[in-house]
Amino acid sequence: MSTDFDTWFFNNRLPQIRYMMLFTAPLYILYGFVEYRMELHMPELRVFFHALFVPSMLIVILGMTYIPSFIPIMKALLFISPICAVFGNLYLNVGTEAFDYFVPEIYLNIIWTIAMSGLSLRLGIIVVLFNIVITMMFHYYQEFPHPYMYLYCLWMLSSAIFGLVTAIIFRQVNYSIFTHQQKLAKVEDTDSLTHLWNRNAMQRFFHKSYQSQHLPISVMMVDLDYFKQVNDKFGHIVGDSLLVEFAQLLQENLRRSDYVGRFGGEEFCVVMPNTQVTQAQTVAESLLAIIHHHNFNHVEHLTASFGIAQMLPAESFEGVLSRADQALYSAKNDGRNNVKVFVSNASAYA
């Protein structure tokens, strides 16, 4: 599965992690004080470990879910916590008559680790395998090993299988939701005729490019000349096929770093990250020549007009788009089939 899904899946599990920490912490506090009242050996250590140390760690993890920069540390604590809990259980109870009463915590810990803790499947399985190994070691190095040690290990393995099946099904269900959302987003962002991005998608890409790179961005508006006459003469079916053909021509002849979308009718927009206006003008003039020499179906020849503007500091997408649009109208008023560049705020064109 993709890294995009893994990121989406983890972000969607953050509320689950918070609730798990929120409810597990008081359960451990209660656990510690119940142990204390049972008059077992090392009561102070039990209270410290189960009623203070483990709950504190869980609350810290809960707090870190709200701070993105602490997420790597949070994941490390999620890895360490179940190991500490099992180690504490074994250290306090192996070799005592009360051990059988505390074994269920280990089984619950295993299911919790794989299915509910928020760890990835790989890390969850590593933690569980580690806990099974240290459980066997604790028993093996006892002077009188517990006669049911292997039965305990079998139940631990069964708990791991139950947790693993639950986690896999949960992950698959979420993957189905993720892919469905991706398809819906693609439909929402795509022009139904040309399958180019629409205006909303271009706007998001523009802001993403600016925020992530802070490099110069140019915007190019492209309009097919006299396209209404094509529709009137040949009909809208032919007109639609020409728009699809023109969209493919733009895609094939733009740079890999450029992104083209359809804004409606015969108007197209190209967002050009890391591009000065002079570079954008060179690209537009190259496209102008390619369009002029291209043999289109039904009509053979079409021309297009281009308007270009470069983003000003802190300018919105609508702002630079408006200036590129003004340059486009200047190109159309100047006889069409040419390129105009908005060079200043004073409505000057080059």
Q: pLDDT tens, 270-287?
A: 999 889 999 999 999 999
Mean pLDDT for all residues in the chain: 87
Does 154 or 73 have the greater pLDDT score? Answer: 73
* pLDDT(1) > 70: no
Q: Which residues contact 64 (CB under 8 A, 6 or more apart)?
A: 70, 71, 73, 74, 77
How do residues 291-310 score in pLDDT, each as one tens digit?
989 999 888 789 999 999 99
Question: What phi and psi, each to the nearest 5 degrees, are found at residue 83?
Answer: -70, -45
How do residues 94-128 score in pLDDT, each as one tens digit?
888 888 888 888 999 999 999 888 888 899 999 99
Q: For the chain, where are the E strands, in sequence order?
A: 217-224, 259-264, 267-273, 304-310, 339-341
Report the pLDDT value the prediction gives residue 224, as an integer from 0 to 100: 93
How do residues 227-250 score in pLDDT, each as one tens digit?
999 888 889 899 999 999 999 999
What are the catalytic residues?
Answer: 266
Residue 197: beta bridge partners? 190, 261
* Strands of the 217-224 sheet, one edge to the other: 259-264, 267-273, 217-224, 304-310, 339-341
Does 317 or 348 have the greater pLDDT score? Answer: 317
* pLDDT(201) > 50: yes
CA angle 245, 337, 346 (to 5 degrees): 120
The answer to whether 272 touches 218, Cβ cutoff 8 Å, is yes
Q: Which residues contact 148 (CB under 8 A, 6 or more apart)?
A: none
Report the pLDDT value the prediction gives residue 315, as an integer from 0 to 100: 83
Report the pLDDT value the prediction gives residue 346, as an integer from 0 to 100: 45
Report the pLDDT value the prediction gives residue 221, as an integer from 0 to 100: 95
Question: Would you place residue 43 in the very low, low, confident or very high pLDDT band (cuts 50, 70, 90)?
Answer: confident
Report the pLDDT value the prediction gives residue 145, as an integer from 0 to 100: 61
Question: Would you place residue 135 in the very low, low, confident or very high pLDDT band (cuts 50, 70, 90)?
Answer: confident
Does 215 or 177 have the greater pLDDT score? Answer: 177
- Find the mean pLDDT for residues 332-343: 90
The answer to whether 290 touches 296, Cβ cutoff 8 Å, is no
Residues of the chain with pLDDT > 90, as a percent, come to 45
Containing 71, the helix (H) or strand (E) segment is helix 71-93
Does 183 or 86 have the greater pLDDT score? Answer: 86
* pLDDT(141) > 80: no
SS3 sequence of 112-165: HHHHHCCCCHHHHHHHHHHHHHHHHHHHHCCCCCCCCHHHHHHHHHHHHHHHHH
Report the pLDDT value the prediction gives residue 44, as an integer from 0 to 100: 87
Greatest mean pLDDT range, 85-89, 137-141, 207-211: 85-89
How do residues 59-69 score in pLDDT, each as one tens digit?
999 999 999 89
Report the pLDDT value the prediction gives residue 144, as an integer from 0 to 100: 60
- Cα→Cα distances 93→111, 139, 184, Å: 20, 11, 54
Question: Would you place residue 138 in the very low, low, confident or very high pLDDT band (cuts 50, 70, 90)?
Answer: confident
CB atoms closer than 10 angstroms to residue 69? 7
The answer to whether 309 touches 342, Cβ cutoff 8 Å, is yes
Report the pLDDT value the prediction gives residue 67, as an integer from 0 to 100: 92
164: its two tokens = 């693993």
* pLDDT(186) > 90: no
